[in-house]
Amino acid sequence: MEDIAALDGKIQAVAKQHGTVRLLMTAPGVGPITAMAVTAAFDDAERFNRSSSAGAYLGLTPRRYESGEISRNGRISKSGDRFARKCLYEAANAILSRKLGGPRLREWAQAIAGRTGPRKAKVALARKLAVTLHAMWCTNTAFREAAMA
């Protein structure tokens, strides 16, 4: 147990040294590991023209199936950084199950869960978190619930 506590302390220390990681940790459900994973995956805030591209980059958007006149959405593409995608999914899970953050974000995801199921709602919330974290990084502003949903 002491080894885990020591490693956790080292992770916290590294997170406090990096300004972007500290900024991203202001979002609900986002801890030091998730913030560092997203920072490493995006590498540079200028990488995307729009923040909405951040979700697609991490593979959190549905694949398109098109053939002739048929066009439908499939499963998520799972492209990009697998660990960052997993961390964002866990952050979304924490928001929904432990009631982290404000009510707007959770109510938005619960409405999706009512229509499509809890797993799809968690993926949608993970994508929204990815887009929000990228926008926070680009504008250098802390998380504000009013900007969500």
Q: How confident is the model at residue 50 (pLDDT cuts 50, 70, 90)?
A: confident
Q: How confident is the model at residue 40 (pLDDT cuts 50, 70, 90)?
A: very high
Q: How confident is the model at residue 149 (pLDDT cuts 50, 70, 90)?
A: very low
* Residues pairing with 65 in the sheet: 72
Give the pLDDT confidence score for residue 28 in this predicted structure. Answer: 92
Report domain extents, the chain: 2-147
| pLDDT, average across residues 15-39 | 94
- Distance, CA of 56 to CA of 144 (rounded, Å): 23
**Residue 131 corresponds to which tokens in the numbers above?**
């887009």
**Residue 54 corresponds to which tokens in the numbers above?**
């951040």
On average, the pLDDT of the chain sits at 89
- Distance, CA of 5 to CA of 60 (rounded, Å): 32
In the predicted model, is pLDDT for residue 68 greater than 60? yes
In the predicted model, is pLDDT for residue 39 greater than 60? yes
Provide the sign of the torsion angle of the four alpha carbons 19, 24, 28, 31, taken in this order: negative
In the predicted model, is pLDDT for residue 78 greater than 90? no
In the predicted model, is pLDDT for residue 61 greater than 70? yes
